[in-house]
Amino acid sequence: MLLVQQIIENKEEFIQALAKRNFDAASSIEKIISLDEERRATQAKLDNTLAESNKISKEIGILFKNGEQQKATILKEKTSQLKETSKELSAKLNTVQEELTAILYTIPNIPHSSVAPGNTEEDNEEIFKEGTIPALEEGALPHWELAKKYDIIDFELGVKVSGAGFPIYKGKGARLQRALINYFLDKNTAAGYKEFQVPHLVNEASGYGTGQLPDKEGQMYHVTGDDLYLIPTAEVPVTNMYRDNLLQESDLPICCTGYTPCFRREAGSYGAHVRGLNRLHQFDKVEIVRIEKPENSYEALEGMVDHVKEILGELKLPYRILRLCGGDIGFTAALTYDFEVFSTAQDRWLEISSVSNFETFQANRLKLRYKDKNGKKQLAHTLNGSSLALPRVLAGILENYQTSKGIKIPEVLVPYCGFEYID
């Protein structure tokens, strides 16, 4: 959530920056400024009313002490009027504050200066590419056919148990999933990230804290009986561990990692591009989260990018990195790098990781602050990244490593799997 004072001080710059997202912020920002003026005026009236009421209450005490009951009674009537006025002003203040907060929740983060304007993913900028796309033998199959051929993922059985988008992994497919999770976690912890096991359901405050709520696109599963939400990513519970915290500067940076299943309704997603593992309602992901001082956050972001690059280099998968344009960047992010692995059998790029800096956007919602060396309270910067999302990594391995002997396991995963081929 943007800071009101920053909006007031940078009104035109914010309107222009948000235009990169194709977001017309002019009317919303004018409304925010107007509501903030009303809030300040109402608060001032309330403060003056309370101050006057307190002053008169002290006078009443003195009058009673001096035996001047009649004067005291007259003033008591005035304090009753002031109390009624203060109740009305408090109610008005709450209403104005709620309206102000509701509008602030609708405005996305200000994109970083390096973010280019654009409308769709076609406008994203490729900034890095590595790996050789293998020349597959004749008759190479997409991963959903390979899964069926080697009996390692059963999409139809998942439909029977739950519905479309809930695959069941079997045998070596399940072991490969487990191997990837353990490998990712080991890489992350070796890089200094502390591992956490976190809840897979969160409360409403957590959803608002990291920006998943309000759920504008209907992506979250809501357990209505308990008013809980299934997590769309480990970012939500991990980051919310620090909600309402006042940290010390010496506590930073905070580096966390965790494995969780992730749940997304993916409303409106149909067609061949979502076949197989390309898009699921439940999938596994290992996440990295950082809390940083503002002056260090972009260096940390580059470090996270390099970390994911190292993992993909060890997996020997052909991949590229995109800097997302304004029209494709997430609501809460200031800057996002997407990693995409090349699916050789599908002849297309598949997103496998997003690494983002949210600057103070989440921290303001979370009330996540730290005390600097001068004792001043500052909002921290939050960052997160997939390290990595399993379904499309698995799809890339199955398709790019298929041979006439079977599916070769990337060398780095063999110690985790205990086998070299799926055959």
Examine the pLDDT at 341 and tell me if it is beyond 90: yes
The CATH architecture assigned to 4-104 reads: Orthogonal Bundle (1.10)
Q: What is the pTM of this model?
A: 0.93
pLDDT digits (tens, 9 = 90+) for 213-254: 999 889 999 999 999 999 999 999 999 999 999 999 999 999
- What is the β-pairing status of strands 246-248 and 369-371? parallel
- 3-class secondary structure, 3: coil
**CA dist., res. 197 & res. 199, Å (int):** 7
**Nearest alpha carbon to residue 221 among 273, 261, 256, 275:** 261
**Phi-psi bin for 91: left (phi > 0), alpha (psi -120 to 50), beta?**
alpha
**Nearest alpha carbon to residue 244 among 215, 214, 216, 203:** 203
pLDDT digits (tens, 9 = 90+) for 5-50: 999 999 999 999 999 999 999 999 999 999 999 999 999 999 999 9
pLDDT value for 86: 94
* pLDDT class of 302 with cuts at 50, 70, 90: very high
pLDDT value for 272: 52
pLDDT value for 267: 56
Q: Which residue has the higher pLDDT, 81 or 358?
A: 358
Quote the CATH superfamily of domain 121-422: Bira Bifunctional Protein; Domain 2 (3.30.930.10)
pLDDT value for 260: 98
Residue 342 · residue 315 · CB < 8 Å: no
* Beta carbons within 8 Å of 205's beta carbon, 6+ residues apart: 240, 243
- Percent of the chain at pLDDT > 90 equals 86
Handedness of CA 385, 324, 272, 139 (dihedral sign): negative
**Domain spans in the chain, listed from the N-terminal domain onward:** 4-104, 121-422
pLDDT digits (tens, 9 = 90+) for 380-396: 999 999 999 999 999 99
Residue 382 · residue 367 · CB < 8 Å: no
Give the chain's mean pLDDT: 95
pLDDT digits (tens, 9 = 90+) for 263-276: 999 755 555 567 89
Examine the pLDDT at 120 and tell me if it is beyond 70: yes
Work out the average pLDDT over 125-136: 93
